[in-house]
Structure 1
């Protein structure tokens, strides 16, 4: 919290993978080895964008959910991801069982997003 209280923020992203037919969200439990928010339940995938160092952007075969979760790019191509929103929050790693960003997103956005995505899917498939 020391860096956060100084106003030093960092960027992160979260991916939410929904299965369209049973209407379920793929969730994960974070690794025990994580420095912040270990062993907590959260959305499908969370990470940090690469910095502006060229050598960090060369990561062969590490694009998308295939690297993170073993989901082949053919099933979840990065080009099919849809940007939904941006949030700004401050939260300590205080041991609650659910990550603070997921609590915030679930409370304020998740059900609306799911309805929008279902409507879009129905319009695309003509169902």
Structure 2
């Protein structure tokens, strides 16, 4: 179990070989996923996300690369399904991670515990009833990103609150456009972050959140900033009565 909850940790597991120095070497190569500087992140771009319309109806699939590439002509990014996990320990402290510099979208930024996508290619992650596909994807990604053993978190442990729709063009090449499922989880778990995904983690107290964010030496991801501004503090103040904040019908579109 993580012992020191109020200082940044700098530990992680390296998956396989150290691929961080892998680069595209051809000066005249086409602009595609082979231009990504990190092998593991490049491979992840080949996974297929679930495309949705504005009402979160599944309408097909596209690679993670296609779902995050900003269209040069229109500035648009394909709308797809995603989730954001907010993880709290039994003392009510919230885990914040610093995304690795290897990440394709919003590298080296602070965000909530885990942010990712259900995959079209994994059949049980396409299940929509009670957001079970999303829950299974969250279980998988918490294991991959933070090293949380899958037997410590079951799909039913997640509290599905609501959905938000947001878009951000990022660096102009890679951006986000998502229907984002908000999942809360309060449990003490074992952590072994994957250094290809996460560079630092920290548990924050509710009373410290504003000061802590003001002192971060890197920006927040746009979705974390949006949720923090509009809803997070209220939800955090009500961890033991989240049922009354459930809203599975509305897709919030914050300005």
**How high is the TM-score relative to the length of structure 1?**
0.73
Query: Are 2:78 and 1:78 aligned?
Result: no
Q: How many residue pairs get matched?
A: 113
Query: Which of the pair has more CA radius of gyration?
Result: 2
**Secondary structure at 1:11's aligned position in 2?**
strand
Instruction: Give a deviation string over 1:70-100, Cα, whole Å, max 9, x none.
Output: 2233443332101011111111225x71100
Runs of 4 or more, structure 1, over 6 Å off, are none
1:113 Cα offset (Å): 1.3
Q: What is the aligned partner in structure 2 of residue 124 from structure 1? A: none
CA contact (8 A) 2:99 2:108 kept: yes
Q: More helix by proportion, 1 or 2?
A: 1
For 2:93 and 2:146, locate their aligned partners in 1 and report how far apart those are by CA, in whole Å. Answer: 17
CA contact (8 A) 2:116 2:141 kept: no
- Say if 1:5 and 1:64 are closer, same or farther in 2 by CA, change over 3 A: closer
Where does the alignment leave 5 or more consecutive residues of structure 1 unmatched?
A: 121-127
Instruction: Give a deviation string over 1:36-55, Cα, whole Å, max 9, x none.
Output: 1001100001111111465x
Q: More strand by proportion, 1 or 2?
A: 2
| Structure with higher RCO (Cα < 8 A, 6+ apart) | 2
Q: What is the aligned partner in structure 1 of residue 82 from structure 2? A: 12
Give the root-mean-square deviation of aligned CA atoms. Answer: 2.7
1:7 Cα offset (Å): 6.0
Spell out the pairing of 1:37-76 with structure 2 (5 A cutoff).
37-52=106-121, 63=140, 65-76=142-153
**Secondary structure at 2:161's aligned position in 1?**
coil
For 1:18 and 1:48, locate their aligned partners in 2 and report how far apart those are by CA, in whole Å. Answer: 20
**How high is the TM-score relative to the length of structure 2?**
0.39
Q: What is the aligned partner in structure 2 of residue 117 from structure 1? A: 239
Query: Are 2:171 and 1:101 aligned?
Result: no
